Amino acid sequence: MADINTYNYLLSDIKNLKGIGIKTSNLLKKKKINTIFDLLWKLPKSMTDRSVSVKIQNLKIGEIQTVTLIPYKYNFPRIRNLPNRVNCRDETGELDCVFFNSYEGYIKKILPLDTEITVSGKIGQFKNKYQITNPKYISENSALVKTKHNQYSLTEGISEKVYNNIIKRALKNLPDLEEWHDSNILKFFNNISWKEAIIKLHSPENIGKYKANFYKRLAYDEILASFLVHSEIRRKIKKIKKQKKFFYNQDQDKLINKLKFKLTNDQKNALNEINNDLKSNNKMFRLLQGDVGSGKTIVSLAAAHNVIKSGFQVAVMAPTEILARQHYKLAKQIFDKNINIEILSSKTEYKDKKLIITNLNEKKINIIFGTHAIFQKKIEFKKLGLIIIDEQHKFGVNQRKKLSDKGGDNCDILLMSATPIPRTLTMTIYGDMDLSIIKEKPKSRLEVKTYTKLESKTDDIINFIKNEIKIGNQIFWVCPLIEESKKLDHSSAVKKYEYLKKIFPNKVALLHGKTDIDEKEIILNKFLENKFKILVSTTIIEVGIDFPNANVIIIENANKFGLSQLHQLRGRVGRGIKQSTCILMFKSSLSENAKKRLNILKNSTDGFKISEDDMKLRGYGDILGFKQSGIKIFKLADPVHNSKLFDLAEREIKKMENKNEDISRYKLLMKLYDQADIINDIV
């Protein structure tokens, strides 16, 4: 019961903390502090030192200082809007305590005449005299004032003093939790308990001590909780016994021999790993992660072909219709003619859609491609054996689990990600899945040549693309903004489109986030069919569509993008057999950090290495898409600074899995740190 009571207390509504009323509770909730547990993770950003008393003659204007003085005269003007003043002094000079909107009785109570009082506040000056306006820290007992106080990022309406008092109450009532780590792990953190670590986290003298044992212990708790949840999902899925898929390697070889290229070693290894899963009686729940242009699609289609040959159906979901159609066309080219292939999207005519739904239910369709529409409730499969998700939209752990459940026990799941991310982040985001990685690029594919160019040299770039158009190539021109902004000095797609269409009449198209979905599909298809030569766009062209005739990409204000995002954008070219070029444009005033980042991209085409460097330079929360997607799930842990803790947690999890250990001692840890719905199924 103690664990349940502790859990209920820590995750109870913030208004249950003594002294917090509805008004303060609502203000805290604006800062996403909904529970007492949330409050613990809003860390102090700095510290105010009120512990040292200063004589009046040594006060510094504009600084928060503490002074012990004696009030000797009240000035309570009868004219409205004039402040109340209390004249005070010490043996070195004079200072006024100034009050707006405070009653005389209150002022006389806190600043009685001829009594030694300690006051702390920001020192100001008025008519060559020191003053403190609306001091909050006042007492005859100097020990109550002369302390160190944390400064937090506060919401309007809550003062530093009030917030510090709230934190103090929360820490005072902090329960002693039953230890979930064994003695060997605790040694790493000098045997510090969870409660002691939380208290130290909020001590003013510990601000910024990220290498201290108390900080590392709490960071490790977060990492381990996340890994435990993933491990339990894996274990639960592995328990599901499914019907094995039986297929012959000759059929797979026949399919691969139809291709105009040979598979890389990484592709072969990934396909073998997937095939082993398909042939086993354990359900597959695997991520196929590959660098830009590494050939994930062909691996997934070969696996789909094997599943079809074993008598099951396959569903392939892509984030956009144009990408779904691209996969559909490739399958049509390489699959046997007797395999029935269909595509379903929001544009599919009603009568065709109705027929497709019927045929799926009667197993007359072997493989279907589409957007999320193929997983609507009314669509039922007769014998679904594999779901493939081209995962540009990054499912979270909950959606992945629901997807696995939807397919049924006999349905294997393969997710694909075209965003290479550092290993520590892979463990964090996709730890619930088995992993296959494709780093190697096809040997026939030439590396994209990458150059940096000053924005003032636009004329040189125009001449370059004129020559490229003459030899039949197409160009992407990427801008960070849709329209001009008064606040940001960035190039806009609309303005660049207007500029380029004057130079290249009838050869330029415009695409951005506000473009209608149907119009977007039309524009991309026309570009694919080479009906215009230049596509001006924002970053929405990142999604993995192949434009084999596009050989040049120009990215304006390149220093404003993350390295991973630039690498993804660069991956839009170089998909054909011709040499491709990426030009990174920048303004003359580049910081040293920005220069470093652009040089990393110029010197490497390895997306995994680039993403590691990106994370080191930009920090965990800023990697492409992660902040926007809410993937930054840790409050303290950082994959760069705490990489050893990630390794330690990984070793512990593997040890538990190999020994099939009972993890009941971690129940409270998992419930506190991972409050996803999924946890209820696990513990």
The CATH homologous superfamily for domain 51-146 is: Nucleic acid-binding proteins (2.40.50.140)
* Per-residue pLDDT tens over the stretch 412-454: 999 888 777 777 777 777 777 888 999 888 777 778 889 888 8
pLDDT of residue 196: 95
Residue closest to 621 by CA, chosen among 388, 425, 473: 425
CATH architecture classification, 1-46+161-175: Orthogonal Bundle (1.10)
Regarding predicted confidence, which is higher, 620 or 391?
391
Contact 567, 584 (CB under 8 A): no
- 10 Å CB burial of residue 655 (0-12, 13-18, 19+) is exposed
Helix axes 643-659, 423-430, angle to 10 degrees: 50
Q: Across residues 386-399, what is the average pLDDT?
A: 69
The number of angstroms, rounded, from the C-alpha of 279 to the middle of its chain's C-alpha atoms is 35
8 Å CB contact between 6 and 668: yes
Strand order in the sheet with 550-555: 449-454, 581-586, 550-555, 474-478, 534-537, 508-511
The answer as to CATH 3.40.50.300 being correct for domain 449-604 is yes
Contact 557, 585 (CB under 8 A): yes
Q: pLDDT tens digits, residue range 21-62?
A: 888 888 888 888 888 888 898 888 888 889 899 999 999 999
Domain 249-438 has CATH 3.40.50.300: yes
pLDDT in tens, 590-609: 777 778 888 888 888 888 88
Looking at residue 398, its pLDDT comes to: 64
Q: Pairing between strand 84-90 and 64-75?
A: antiparallel
Which pLDDT score, from 0 to 100, does residue 625 have? 39
- Does 94 score more than 90 pLDDT? yes
Pairing relation of β-strands 534-537 and 474-478?
A: parallel
Domain with CATH 3.40.50.300 in the chain: 249-438, 449-604
Nearby residues of 193 by Cβ (< 8 Å), 6 or more positions away: 176, 177, 179
- Among the residue ranges 175-189, 304-318, 466-480, 548-562, the one predicted with the least confidence is 548-562
Distance CA 150, CA 44 (A): 6
128 φ/ψ sector (left φ>0, alpha ψ -120 to 50, else beta): left
Residue ranges, CATH 1.10.150, the chain = 1-46+161-175
Residues 6+ apart with CB under 8 A from 276: none
Q: Which residues lie closer than 8 Å to 545 by C-beta, 6 or more apart? A: 320, 322, 323, 326, 524, 528, 572
Average pLDDT value over all residues in the chain: 84
Range with top average pLDDT, 52-56, 483-487, 619-623, 640-644: 52-56
The secondary element (H helix, E strand) that includes residue 251 is: helix 249-257
Q: Which is nearest to 292 in space by CA: 444, 440, 477, 478? A: 440
Q: For 168-214, what is the HEC assignment?
A: HHHHHCCCCCCCCCCHHHHHHCCCCCHHHHHHHHCCHHHCCCCCCHH
Indicate where the chain has its CATH 2.40.50.140 domain(s).
51-146
Q: Region 627-640: what's the mean pLDDT? A: 63
Q: What is the pLDDT of residues 191-235, one digit of tens each?
A: 999 999 999 999 888 888 888 999 999 999 999 998 898 888 888
Taking Cα atoms as reference points, which of 169, 167, 194 lies closest to residue 181?
A: 194
* pLDDT, tens digit (0-9, with 9 covering 90-100), for 241-251: 889 999 888 88
Instruction: Please provide the size of the chain in residues.
Output: 683
Percent of the chain with pLDDT over 70: 91
Q: Where are the alpha helices (DSSP H) in 408-528?
A: 423-430, 458-470, 493-503, 517-528
